[in-house]
A and B are shown apart, each in its own frame.
Chain A
Amino acid sequence: MNTRGLRSQLKDSVPVAGLCPQGSYGIQDSLRSGFTSVKNELLPSHPLELSEKNFVLNQDKMNFSTLRNIQGLHAPLKLQMEYRAARQIQRLPFLQSSNLALDTLRGSDDTIGFEDILGDPAQSEMMGEPHMMVEYKLGLL
């Protein structure tokens, strides 16, 4: 096996095997995630999983580096400042934000992709416990 090729596939945060399985109550959920194996936790199971997870990040990085090469360092710096400001506009911690300002900055507010149709977080079946999350955010917990 080509280890160098594998390394590019490693999930960016490697969980220590066996310490924190994904099921409820901390036990490995065999029905949903299969049997425990080190390979399962280190390597993604689908060739697209990594590239899709980091797609927006990679696109932004590419755009910023092109901009830096063309216009100098100040251009991506100013834009990144605006991105940070836009990223901070959120709703309450347990509600999904529409990220409209961020979309407009990126130019993706008039395009429709698979991330708008599939897996809409507003329709997800699981939600964080609202009271806990607000208390945690306000530091009351």
Chain B
Amino acid sequence: PAAGFNFDNAARNAAFEGLFEGGQTPKPLKTGTTIAGVVFKDGVVLGADTRATSSEVVADKMCAKIHYISPNIYCCGAGTAADTEKTTDLLSSNLTVFSLNSGRNPRVVMAVNILQDMLYRYHGQIGANLILGGVDCTGNHLYTVGPYGSVNKVPYLAMGSGDLAALGILEDRFKHDLELEKAKELVRDAIHAGIMSDLGSGNNIDICVITKQGVDYIRPFQESEYKETRKPKYKYRPGTTPVLTKKIVPLKLEVVEETQQRMDTA
């Protein structure tokens, strides 16, 4: 049996689609997202919403879409959730091996090239739209990689189902060499526009600021007002139930046999 992807069930799945009248095959978890990135004076700001949808149901309200690639490179992922997770994991492992081998911090172009080769090999079957942002010795970079392997290098970017709304805000207010606070606000507003105008995006906003000094991963940067107060555990405080009667029956035990076994700590 060959390693890698297994296509044994492809014929069976194709036959199944005809048999059941639609909606029976489980849909993959898409992120239906708004992700955005902006290059500012000292680095890169990446932002993302936190909703993951599975057709019409919100599957995850606190999904983490900003993935770690290397200490100086982070990646936002839109598209099929599992694909973005696994691809960014693989990319991160490869870059770590490289930096251990060569003793250098990886550059953003290297990450982009590895991703491009990997995604082109699968001809778009891996549904991962990624925004890579990072700071390396050559400067601050922001790239986007499409599922078919297309690469674009731009100073500001939005991807996902809410990208048109976010791009509107970015196109209007982007300037080169913004300050940190202005850049964070810009990304926050762009993601907010995506959340308001797109069904597939929502809940909280995560922001990740990458500079030469380090990374600031603010999760969540802004929480949505529609937070719920459901708790995961229901613990009742002692005394909630009134005690009516109490009866204590002591159990008499006699020691029959007592053995001592020493632990062998050799």
**Do A and B originate from a single complex?**
yes
Nearest residue (CB) in A for B118 is A113
Q: In this assembly, does B20 line the interface, its C-beta being within 8 Å of a C-beta of chain A? A: no
Contact A111 B97 (CB under 8 A): yes
CB contact under 8 A between A126 and B1, given known A33-B12, A44-B7, A113-B118: yes
For B1-42 the 0/1 string (1 means CB < 8 A from A) is 111111110111011000000000000000000000000000
Could you list 8 further interchain pairs (A-B, Cβ under 8 angstroms) beyond the known A35-B15, A113-B90, A119-B6?
A: A47-B125, A48-B125, A110-B98, A114-B5, A115-B4, A117-B86, A119-B4, A120-B3
| Chain A interfacial residues counted at CB < 8 A | 29
Task: Provide a sorted-by-A list of 26 A–B residue pairs whose CB atoms are within 8 angstroms.
Answer: A32-B8, A33-B12, A34-B11, A34-B15, A35-B15, A45-B10, A45-B14, A46-B7, A46-B10, A47-B123, A49-B10, A51-B121, A52-B7, A55-B121, A113-B90, A114-B4, A114-B5, A115-B3, A116-B3, A117-B90, A118-B6, A119-B2, A119-B4, A121-B1, A121-B2, A126-B1
Contact A48 B7 (CB under 8 A): yes
Q: In this assembly, does B94 line the interface, its C-beta being within 8 Å of a C-beta of chain A? A: yes
Q: In this assembly, does A124 line the interface, its C-beta being within 8 Å of a C-beta of chain B? A: yes
Which residues of chain B are within 8 angstroms of A114 by Cβ–Cβ distance?
4-5, 90
Nearest residue (CB) in B for A40 is B11
Report Cα–Cα, A50/B149, bound state, in Å: 20
Q: How many A-B residue pairs have CB under 8 A?
A: 70
Contact A112 B97 (CB under 8 A): yes
Which residues of chain B are within 8 angstroms of A47 by Cβ–Cβ distance?
123, 125
Which residues of chain A are within 8 angstroms of B14 by Cβ–Cβ distance?
45
Report Cα–Cα, A120/B101, bound state, in Å: 25
**A33 CB contact (under 8 Å) in B2, B11, B97, B101:** B11
Contact A121 B10 (CB under 8 A): no
Contact A112 B94 (CB under 8 A): yes
Nearest residue (CB) in B for A34 is B15
